[in-house]
Amino acid sequence: MGLVQPHTLHVDQPLELECGRQLPSCDLVYETYGNLNASASNAVLICHALSGHHHAAGYHSMDEKRPGWWDSCIGPGKPIDTNRFFVVCLNNLGGCHGSSGPTSTNPETGQLWGPDFPMMTVKDWVKSQARLADALGIEQWAAVVGGSLGGMQALQWAIDFPDRLRHAVVIAAAPKLSAQNIAFNEVARQSILTDPNFHGGRYYLHDTYPRQGLILARMVGHITYLSDDAMRMKFGRDLRSGRFHFGFDVEFQVESYLRHQGETFSRNFDANTYLLMTKALDYFDPAREQGGTLEQALERTRCGFLVMSFNSDWRFSPERSREIVNALTHVGRDVSYAEIDTPKGHDAFLLPIPEYVKLLGAYLRRVADEVDADGQ
Amino acid sequence: MGLVQPHTLHVDQPLELECGRQLPSCDLVYETYGNLNASASNAVLICHALSGHHHAAGYHSMDEKRPGWWDSCIGPGKPIDTNRFFVVCLNNLGGCHGSSGPTSTNPETGQLWGPDFPMMTVKDWVKSQARLADALGIEQWAAVVGGSLGGMQALQWAIDFPDRLRHAVVIAAAPKLSAQNIAFNEVARQSILTDPNFHGGRYYLHDTYPRQGLILARMVGHITYLSDDAMRMKFGRDLRSGRFHFGFDVEFQVESYLRHQGETFSRNFDANTYLLMTKALDYFDPAREQGGTLEQALERTRCGFLVMSFNSDWRFSPERSREIVNALTHVGRDVSYAEIDTPKGHDAFLLPIPEYVKLLGAYLRRVADEVDADGQ
């Protein structure tokens, strides 16, 4: 995509949230790639996952070392082809990359929101994303696309705004978290909440931050993003120095890697945001909301679906994707399903795995063709 | 078993350890159940797992609420039948239940060992267990039996003292930890090591202890002891109060359960011991020690083997047990293998699952018959 830059939408109308509170106004930071066509029918919304943000493709400056987080899939001639689509990606509310969240200022008090920022849900995010669509003049998305927590947003779009998207692409997601998923989130949260530097979420007033809690949270999270096989291939039981030291310093490469992942993450992410994001995952359960069954929830949808999973993903295994596929089939929706063979685990959804990229590209080419045909 | 009581063996000869250090003397706390026969040929050694101890069966007093940790399998007429076997279970060195370890006194300094207690390995434990066998006049165990880390000790016995056991029973174990296993241990260790109350392991000098670190360590450990299915059946997405609160207090039952498990454990276990036990797991790798392959390591064994695994165990999956079985078969050992169908996960090895208990009992009955036949 070359050089790109973020934009900010200031939303003045209050946003009613699922938790019962209200955001009187908010900022949404977003990026766009490609051009919106005259009928505004070629827009694709990218929803980000737990630690993602609006910077999905291209570079912010010539000095930026890495492009946006999904640059492998977004750009001219790529699966999400910016020669054909107008691609939009925003930082979700509660995030820490520019949209209103714990690290931004509460306009009513002039203070940082910190732990007082309202709890967000997938439904709230979708509602706020609809405001962005309104502002951009997009009545209907050609597709809403996301992996993991982003896939849950795509699914929620299909339920909450059935007429405002043609297609939902739901990758490496689940219709709700399992008890084990919630348990891992709870360990991550407790790591942060009990860090003595957390100060009830007001660490910024104490000129500190719960670094160690964030490191632990990310370490445990990271284990669930990789498959056992991926870790075996990447590290096995390799030692950092070729022999045992019989101490608590790093002995195995995998220990070094995990600590590094945790430390890097802790420097770039806000603890209050991490807590909010894990709770949004826990709360996601459209079946519960619509009376009990996933079929009942999906009965409202109108769009076409592409559901994708990865056979080594044990965080949201293919079985969880098939629950979505089966419920969609049961209510008569058009649904394509692909289970990609890869050892990369949950993280696979971010990687340029040839079969994955090819199938995603093929589906979206058909979406673009459909949009073109409709415009003629 | 009714009322039982622990004994202490004081070992005066120095114990050379794998880490290169030496324990000049040590105490081993153990219990025995049943009677040793005249030829001392009916003794069974039980090796405990990460958080276990010597109290495997019976009650210490009429007030004790729960019997020893493997009471379901040890006793008159039970799979490890005390009418036929003399059963011995000890607290491993480095433990916190009476044997020499971080919470006991270093005889050379008169101070608590604390973090200065030497790093232990499975090989060291087996060597110390052989001292206990010597003291009890047991030249050869009828069987050495253990689950998880205890199963690794049984395997190490077969390698290090091939003539001192007739049978090894290796349950829910692995021939070495995977990168993922090590990663989970590392998260647990980092939780403890970075707890501000850890004080480099000398918390007892500061009148405190790394409670929160131990809680987190146990929470993450506990997730790996249960299967996803077991958690689903036990908790699903049940809410503690029937509705969402949109806060960081407990919402789901599984959160409440995990916190409770962590808190209970933190009150009853020593942090330095927990660190040592996880390192012993990481270091276990008989193949590495014997030149590279598991077959080479097992070439030295002479005993019969029963290997058991549980199909829902993802900590040490059946695949890991089959690695042991295949290597044993390759070197021509007598090996029986059973994969038990249960949703209980790794924890299954501690539970009275009918098929498991039946197969274990059947194997050990044959061992007892063999001992009897030899004595005649």
User: Is 80 exceeded by the pLDDT of residue A244?
Assistant: yes
Residue B60 annotated to the active site: no
Using CA atoms, how far apart are residues B275 and B259, in angstroms rounded to an integer? 20
Q: Is the pLDDT of residue A322 over 90?
A: yes
Q: Per the domain annotation, does A2 fall within a domain?
A: no
Name the token pair of A227: 């498959």
pLDDT at B290 over 80: no
Last residue of a domain, one of B236, B260, B279: B279
Residue of B nearest to A201 (CA): B248
User: How many residue pairs bridge chain A and chain B with CB atoms within 8 Å of each other?
Assistant: 139
A347 marked as binding residue: yes
pLDDT averaged over every residue in chain B: 96
Please report, as a single letter, which amino acid is at residue A363: Y
Task: Dig out the tokens for A69 from the structure.
Answer: 């987080």
Tokens of B240: 């503690």
Report if residue A1 sits inside a domain.
no
Asked if residue A68 lies in contact with residue A4, where contact means CB atoms within 8 angstroms, the answer is yes
Residue type, A14: P
Task: State the nearest Cα–Cα gap between B342 and chain A, in angstroms.
Answer: 17
> Which of chain B's residues have a Cβ under 8 Å away from the Cβ of A186?
219, 252, 254-255, 258-259
Q: A341 and A213 in one domain? A: no
Q: Is A267 annotated as a binding residue?
A: no
Contacts of A234 in chain B (CB under 8 A): 179
Do A208 and A262 lie in a common domain?
yes
Q: Residue A242's pLDDT is what?
A: 82
Q: What is the mean pLDDT of residues B160-175?
A: 98
Task: Give one DSSP letter per residue of A74-111, joined into a string.
Answer: EETTSSEETTT-EEEEEPPTT-SSSSSSTTSB-TTTSS
What pLDDT score does B273 carry?
98
Q: Chain B neighbours among A 81-120 (CB < 8 Å)?
A: 118-119
- Among candidates B183, B232, B282 on the partner chain, residue whose Cβ is nearest the Cβ of A178: B232
Say if residue B300 is in the same domain as residue B371: yes
Q: What is the mean pLDDT of residues B267-285?
A: 97
Per-residue pLDDT tens digits for A28-45: 999 999 999 999 999 999
Q: What does the pLDDT average to over B285-308? A: 93
- B155 within some domain: yes
Domain interval for residue B296: 7-176+285-375
Residues B112 and B91 in one domain: yes
Name the active-site residue from B100, B148, B309, B317.
Answer: B148
B247 with B309, same domain: the answer is no
| Burial annotation A95-105 (CB, 10 A radius, 16+ → b, else e) | bbbbbbbbbbe
Distance between CA atoms of B347 and B366, rounded to whole angstroms?
Answer: 26
The mean predicted confidence, pLDDT, of chain A is: 96
> Largest Cα–Cα distance in chain B?
72
Provide the pLDDT confidence category of residue A289 given band limits of 50, 70 and 90.
confident
> Residues B48-98: pLDDT tens digits?
999 999 999 999 999 999 999 999 999 999 999 999 999 999 999 999 999
Structure tokens at A136: 């951009």
Rounded to whole angstroms, the Cα distance separating B308 from B297 reads 20
- Give the pLDDT mean for A315-332: 98
* pLDDT higher than threshold 80 for residue A237: yes
With contacts defined as CB-CB under 8 Å, which chain A residues touch B186?
219, 252, 254-255, 258-259
CATH number (domain holding residue A217): 1.10.1740.110
Q: Is B263 contained in some domain?
A: yes
d(CA A268, CA A273): 11
Give the pLDDT band (50/70/90) at residue A209: very high
Confidence band (pLDDT; 50, 70, 90) for B25? very high
Q: What percent of chain B has pLDDT over 90?
A: 95
Q: Residue B242's pLDDT is what?
A: 82
pLDDT higher than threshold 80 for residue B312: yes
Termini Cα distance of chain B: 28
Residue of B248, B317, B323 to mutate for A, most A C-beta atoms under 10 A: B248
Facing residues of A168 across strands? A144, A305
Q: Are residues B225 and B318 in the same domain?
A: no
What pLDDT sits at residue B351?
97
- In chain A, how many domains are there? 2
Please tell me the predicted confidence (pLDDT) of residue B291. 75
> Model pTM?
0.96
- Spatial distance between the Cα atoms of B212 and B228, rounded to a whole number of angstroms: 25
Q: Do A178 and B231 touch (CB under 8 A)?
A: yes
pLDDT of residue A167: 98
Q: Is the pLDDT of residue A1 over 90?
A: no
Same domain, A170 and A228: no
Mind spelling out the 3-state secondary structure of B302-371?
CCEEEEEEECCCCCCCHHHHHHHHHHHHHCCCCEEEEEECCCCHHHHHHCCCHHHHHHHHHHHHHHHHHH
Predicted confidence at residue A290, as pLDDT, reads 73
Q: Considering only residues 197 to 226 of chain A, which have any Cβ-Cβ distance to chain B shorter than 8 Å? A: 212, 215-216, 219-220, 223, 226
Lowest mean pLDDT among B127-141, B181-195, B228-242, B274-288: B228-242
Q: What is the mean pLDDT of residues A222-233?
A: 94
* Pairing relationship of beta strands A7-11 and B86-90 according to DSSP bridges: unpaired
CATH of the domain at B317: 3.40.50.1820
Q: Is residue B52 domain-shared with residue B95, that is, in the same domain?
A: yes
Q: Does residue B354 sit in the same domain as residue B216?
A: no
Task: Give the C-alpha separation, A120 to A116, whole Å.
Answer: 12
In a domain, A104, yes or no: yes
